[in-house]
Structures are given as C-alpha cells and as structure tokens.
Chains A and B, each alone.
Chain A
Amino acid sequence: MHTWAWLAWLASALAALSATRNPLYLLLGLTCLALVGVGQPRDESHLPSPFSPWKFGLVLVGLAAGFNALTSHYGESILFTIPGKLPLLSGAVTLEALLYGATNGLALAGLLGAFWIFARALPVRALIGLIPRAFYPLATVTAIAVTYLPATLRQFQQIREAQAVRGHALRGLRDWPPLFMPLLVGGLERAMQLAEAMTARGFASLGEQAGLHRQTAPRLALLAGLLLLGAGWMVLLGGWSKPASGLMLGGGAGLILAGLWALGRRYPRSSYRPPRWRGSDTLCVAEALLVLGVTLLPLPGLGAEGLWYTPYPKLALPPFDWRVGVGLLGLLGPLLGQGRSESAK
C-alpha cells in the first residue's frame, strides 16, 4: 500500500482512539487494529520485534486499571476497602475506577498499536523517504545507519563467538569491554572505508551542499520562527490572549516550514522505482475520511456525544450508536485494500 494511504490510516486511527473513551467503541477500534496488524505481513527490512505489542498492550491495560483502582477512590460500586491510613492506597476500591483506568489503558494501547502497525508495515526505505528534502544529509546518515544496523548486530555475534573460542566468558561488566571495543573500532574502520567509497563515487557533501546549508535567508526564517513560537507559547501558557498566541504559534510554525522548504528546494528527489497509487489506496483514504467524519465532525443525527463516556459516579452500560460503529470499521481499510490488490493479482 502507498505510504500516503498508510499515513491517512494512521491519522484516522489516532483521531478515533483519542476522541473516544467509550469502552465499546475502543474495543471495536482495537479489534480492527488487531485484524490489520495480524493480516499485514511484516516488511523484511525490519528487524524482528524484541517484544510482543499485544502482550505489552495487555500489560498496559492491566497496569492502568490496577493503578487507577488503587489510587482513585471515587465511584459507588465498592469492590473492597483497603483499611488503615496507607498514603494513596487506603480507601474504597471501586468498579468504576477499575473500568475508567482500563479504558484509559485501552486508548493508550491502541495509540501505541497504531504506530507499531504503521512502522512495521512500511518498508524502512519508505519511512526514510518521509524525511523532508531539507534534511538530505541527515537522510543519508539515517540510510547508512539503517543499512549498517543488521551488519553491526552480526558483527557483535561474530566477535562474541571469536572471544568464546579463546575462552572468554561473560560473567560481569568487566567481561564486556573485549566485546564492545572491537565492535566500536571495527565500526569506525568501516566508517572510514565507507567514506572513501562515497568520495570515490562522487558523493559531494562538501562545497555546494555546505553552502546550501549556510544560506542566510532560510536560516533567518528559522530563527524568527523559533522566536515567534517561544513567545506565542508563553502567551498561551500565561492565558493572556488566545488569538494572539494562535497567530504567533501559527506564524512561527509557518516561518520554520518556509525556511525548511527553502533549504530543501535545491535538492531534487528521485526514485528508482516510485510507488504506484492504486485503487486500493483511494479506498483506504476514503475509509480513513469516514472514520474521521464519524469521530470528529458533529454530523446531524449521529450519536457522537456517546464517544465521551465516564463510568462515574455509578457504572451504567455505555451507549452504542451502530452508525458510529460502522464508521469505525473504516479502520479495516488496509486489510480490505490488501484483499483487493491480492485478488487483482
């Protein structure tokens, strides 16, 4: 799927999960995310994940529910009471507090899950491609780092095996320098070889590019933008004038973006095989717009007020509007798009 279609999906997922605290809608949204996550093949350019996001999400929900139940003593459905005068803990533990904590945990787990699916589904080169043109030198550094990371892990394994053959065993921190120092020195040697190869192939980060990054006008725009941002932020925090702070923040952001645009416009971007925009991408964007519509817009006749549900003071069944539910099914966009593109093949 196209990078911009994935971005639209991510924006819709974040908006939907941030806009509701109704556990029914949250569960529906999370089910959609889980289906997309399971149905999406991992791109080969990613390293295997060091932890399971699903287990992490469950732990997060459990922790949030437990923490809120033990520390927030509001609500009428008392499960049990912690006696004594323990700071923070003593008092009634209520079902409402437990559910409220779990709901917050569900939203947080969903937000993390959406980012995780997005970052795993896209190839690393597509993610690097999102780096703006103004950051061309940094994009090169990032591409080198991403390319060298698996090689570094392999080299670490080789050094460990070579040291083990010599009788080296890992017992404590003192045994780590014989592993780390060859890794560091070997990496620095590789950097030297890489630099020579880049120079030999005409990668010229000298002269012209350095001159580009020393342009005065874009840098002055950056400086003015930063000063406006800082001043606008202080005006907002002080609560002095909301329109003025909005203008200053907007103006500052605009100046910074304009400065970056001016820095980047001299770097042409080319792609060996540019990704094609398919019908499935359009479908995914349309579904993302549907999700944004039912969760953010005050559409007439739609029970969107049930998005913000609170179990306090006494637990009641959360409201559920089937039209909002159908709209949330738009989060399945990548899955449906994938199904269409596979059947087209």
Chain B
Amino acid sequence: MRSRLLGLAITLAAAVSGLLALLYPFFLSDLGAGRAAPGQLRAGEMSVLMTLLLGLCVLALLAEAQGHLLSTRLVALLGVLAALNSALRFLETAIPGPGGFSPIFFLIILVGYVFGGRMGFLMGALTLLVSGLVTGGVGPWLPGQMFTAGWVGLSTPLLRPLVRGLQRLWPREAEKRVGFTPELLALTAFAIAWGFLYGGLMNLWEWPFILGPEGQSWQAGLGLWTGVQRYAAYYLVTSLVWDLMAALGNLLLMLAFGPPALRALRRFRQRFVFEYSALILSENSGAPAGGD
C-alpha cells in the first residue's frame, strides 16, 4: 500500500513538473527585460533548461513505471509492441501522410487502455525512443516527444469510468442501430482530443523561437492570459489544419482498427497478465490449507 502511494506520488510529481516545464512560456515573468534583444537569448537559455528539466521528469517517470515490468511476458510484450509501433512510425516517415497524420497513437491508446496507464506510458515513450534510435531521430526534441507520447498512454485509464458511465446510459438497441459501442465512441473522442493536444504541447517547444507578428509571437513577461491568447492565435494560424489531419487520422484509424485490435489485445491480456501462487496442501486432509 505504502509502495503504491509512493509510486502514485512520484508519477504525479513528475507529471506536474514536466507539464510546468512544457508550459513555461505562459509563466515566464520579465526575466528577459532590459536586453537589446529581449526574448531571443533568454528563450534559448530557457529552452535548454526546459529540455533538461523535462528529461529528468521523463527519467523519473520511466524509473517508476518500469517497476511494473515484473515478468518476462510483459518485457517481451512491450518490446514487440514497441517494435510494431516503431515500424508504423518508420512507414509514416517513409510515406508521409497528410499534415500531422501519424499512425502510432491509436495503438498507444489501446495498449494503455487494455494493459493500464503505466504500460501505456512505457509504450508511448519507448515507441518514440526506439524509432528515434533506428532512424537517426535522437535529438533535444526527444524528451518532449517521449514525455507527451507517454502521457497519451498514461492518461488512458481516465477513460474507464467514462466508458462505464456511457455503458449504463447507452441502450443495447442503440448500440446495434448506430453500429459502434460506447467504448469505441469514448476511445475515438479521446484519440481525436490527443490529435490536437499532442501538436499543441509540442509546439510550445519551438514557439519562443518563432519570430512573427506581435499578436502571435512570444515575449518574456507577457503574463498568463496574454500568453495564452497569443499562443491560441499562433496555433490557429500555423497548426490547426496540421493537427486537424492528425485528429482525423486518429479518428479513422480508431474506427477501422480499434474493435479488432481491442479484441486481440484483450485476448492476449489473459495470456500475458496472470499471477500464480503456491497451493499448500494440508498433510491430513489433502485439502488446500492456504496460499494467496
């Protein structure tokens, strides 16, 4: 129990610190004021610091999440699934889809949903790491990518109560008439939301460097509300259409592959995730005397 609480506290602290690191352009006060070119040099320094901070948060999260890999079955499962998803990313790099379309997120979401948030986090982070290793994509952007893709998987257990609620409200007849289940509906909406969120979070890495019109570009000391307004304008102009393609791609992939992939993962979950314990037989009766 104490170990679980400690694990939860580490996960929460790493997630919050990492998010604060990513969202620094909104919180930065007037540190850059008084320089000839305010913002530029400071943005560079802050960006390096942000990458380091994010890297440390990813390391702490990985260290905690890997405690979940308690059996060879899970180690092998995660390795093979990460290879499969990295192959999808490799194919995407070789044959680019429209805009920000990427085929990797639907599998990260499904793995997190079926096997739990920590497996989802590891799946997201390791997909980006492995594909980066084999395609030469290792760089300062990698901690941010790993953190955000890991978050996609880590956040999937949030869907479970929502799915349970929807299942209570959703009559069987409606399920047959519409053609898809409340579970698929929730997973699809989640995948669409992450299509926009992933792009929105990753843009924060480069936003302070982009020189643009005053209403869209970053400056130190903007304040939270003005910063959010400017970023929203920047996002609408530069990224909305790009991320729309990512969200549409997630929608289509979830609708096309979601139900069969979910069935397959659940079937294999029964084979991969089980626990066994010794059965102690009583000497006299031959009946089980204990064990858990």
A residues whose Cβ falls under 8 Å from a Cβ of B: 18, 46-47, 49-51, 53, 68, 71-72, 87-88, 104, 111-112, 115-116, 118-120, 124, 127-128, 134-135, 137-138, 140-149, 151-153, 156, 173-174, 176-177, 180-181, 183-185, 187-188, 190-192, 194-195, 198-199, 203, 205-206, 210, 213-214, 216, 219-220, 222-223, 225-227, 229-230, 233-234, 236-239, 249, 252-253, 256, 259-260, 263
CB distance from B203 to the nearest CB of A (A): 15
Q: Give the shortest distance, in Å, between B146 (CB) and chain A (any CB).
A: 11
Instruction: Choose among B44, B76, B122, B134 the residue that contacts A124 (Cβ–Cβ < 8 A).
Output: B134
B72–A219 CB distance below 8 A: no
Question: Are A88 and B213 in contact, with the CB atoms below 8 A?
Answer: yes
Select one of A47, A145, A256 contacting B80, CB under 8 A: A145
In the complex, which residue of chain B has the Cβ closest to the Cβ of A224?
B13
Check A18/B44 contact, CB under 8 A, given A119-B138, A120-B136, A219-B6: yes
Interface size on B, residues (CB 8 A): 81
Tell me how far the C-beta of B25 lies from the nearest C-beta in chain A, rounded to whole angstroms: 10
Tell me the smallest distance from the CB of B85 to a CB of chain A, in Å. Answer: 9
**CA of A87 to CA of B215, assembled, Å:** 11
* CB atoms of B6 and A137 under 8 A apart: no
Shortest beta-carbon distance, B89 to chain A, in Å?
10
Question: Is the pair A192, B67 in contact by a Cβ cutoff of 8 Å?
Answer: no
* A225–B72 CA distance with the chains assembled, in angstroms: 31
| Contact, CB under 8 Å: B56 / A135 | no
Partner of A138 from B86, B91, B122, B132 at Cβ < 8 Å: B122
Min Cβ gap A176→B in Å is 7
User: What B residues does A135 contact at CB under 8 A?
Assistant: 62-63, 66
Q: Which residue of B lies closest to A207 (CB)?
A: B70
CB pair B80–A194 under 8 Å, yes or no, is: yes
Instruction: Tell whether, in the assembled complex, residue A192 and residue B73 are in contact, meaning their CB atoms are under 8 Å apart.
Output: yes
Q: Which residues of chain B are within 8 angstroms of A53 by Cβ–Cβ distance?
A: 136
Chain B residues with CB under 8 A of A124: 133-134
Pairwise interchain contact A187-B83, C-beta atoms closer than 8 A: yes
> Across the interface, which residues of A come within 8 angstroms of B226, CB to CB?
none
CB-defined contacts of A187 to chain B, threshold 8 Å: 80-81, 83-84
A141 touches B122 (CB 8 A): yes
Distance A234 CA – B17 CA, assembled complex (angstroms): 9
Query: Cβ of B222: which chain A residues have Cβ within 8 Å of it?
Result: none
- Shortest Cβ gap from B273 to chain A (Å): 12
Task: Tell whether, in the assembled complex, residue B130 and residue A115 are in contact, meaning their CB atoms are under 8 Å apart.
Answer: no
Which applies to chain B's interface (DSSP): helix, strand, loop or mixed? Answer: helix
Identify the 10 closest CB pairs spanning chains A and B, nearest first.
Answer: A144-B79, A213-B67, A148-B83, A230-B17, A226-B13, A191-B80, A50-B94, A195-B76, A239-B29, A145-B82
Set of chain A residues within 8 Å of B265, measured between Cβ atoms: 188
In the complex, what residues of B have CB within 8 A of residue A104's CB? Answer: 209
Q: Is the Cβ of B86 less than 8 Å from the Cβ of A145? A: yes
B10 proximal to A (CB < 8 A): yes
Distance A318 CA – B139 CA, assembled complex (angstroms): 30
Q: A89 CA to B165 CA in the complex, in Å? A: 50
Q: B126, A145: Cβ atoms under 8 Å?
A: yes
Contact of A119 among B60, B77, B136 (CB under 8 A): B136
B264 close to A (CB within 8 Å): yes
Given contacts A88-B213, A229-B53, A214 and B67 within 8 Å (CB-CB): yes
Determine the chain B residues whose CB is within 8 A of the CB of A191 once the complex forms.
73, 76-77, 79-81, 272
Complex contact B67–A177 (CB within 8 A): no
Once the chains are docked, how many angstroms separate the CA of A214 from the CA of B69? 12
Question: Known interface pairs A140-B79, A220-B6, A260-B63. Does A149 touch B69 (Cβ–Cβ under 8 Å)?
Answer: no
CB distance from A139 to the nearest CB of B (A): 10
A126→B2 CA distance, assembly (Å): 38
Residues of A within 8 A of B268 (CB): 188, 192
Number of A-B contacts (CB under 8 A): 251
Q: Is the CB of B27 within 8 A of A234?
A: yes
Asked if A144 and B76 sit within 8 Å, CB to CB, the answer is yes
A265 to B140, CA, bound (A): 27
Q: Which residues of B contact A195 (CB under 8 A)?
A: 71-73, 75-77, 272
The answer to whether A184 touches B264 (Cβ under 8 A) is: yes
Assess whether B257 is interfacial by the CB under 8 Å rule. Answer: yes
B129 to A: closest C-beta gap in Å: 6
Is the CB of B183 closer than 8 A to any CB of chain A?
A: no
Q: How far apart sit A194 and B7, CA to CA, in the bound complex (Å)?
A: 29
A contact residues around B154 at 8 Å (CB): none
Contact of B256 among A148, A177, A185 (CB under 8 A): A177
| Contact call A72/B138, Cβ cutoff below 8 A | no
The reply to whether B256 and A173 contact each other, CB–CB distance below 8 Å, is: yes
Q: How many Å from the CB of A228 to the closest CB on chain B?
A: 9
User: Quick check: A176 and B256 within 8 Å, CB to CB?
Assistant: yes
Residues on the B chain within 8 Å of A219, using CB = 6-7, 10, 64
B246 within 8 A of A: no
Chain B residues with CB under 8 Å of A263's CB are 63
Q: Determine if B81 and A127 form an interchain contact, defined as CB atoms under 8 angstroms apart.
A: no
Question: Distance in Å from the Cβ of B118 to the closest Cβ of chain A?
Answer: 12
Q: Is B167 an interface residue (CB 8 A)?
A: no
Q: A141–B59 contact, CB under 8 A?
A: no
Whether, in the assembled complex, B197 has its beta carbon less than 8 Å from a beta carbon of chain A, the answer is no
Q: Could you pull out 28 A-B pairs where Cβ atoms are within 8 angstroms?
A: A46-B135, A87-B213, A115-B139, A118-B138, A124-B133, A135-B63, A135-B66, A138-B126, A141-B122, A142-B126, A144-B79, A144-B83, A145-B83, A149-B130, A173-B252, A180-B261, A185-B264, A187-B80, A188-B265, A192-B268, A198-B76, A213-B67, A219-B7, A223-B13, A229-B57, A233-B17, A233-B21, A239-B30
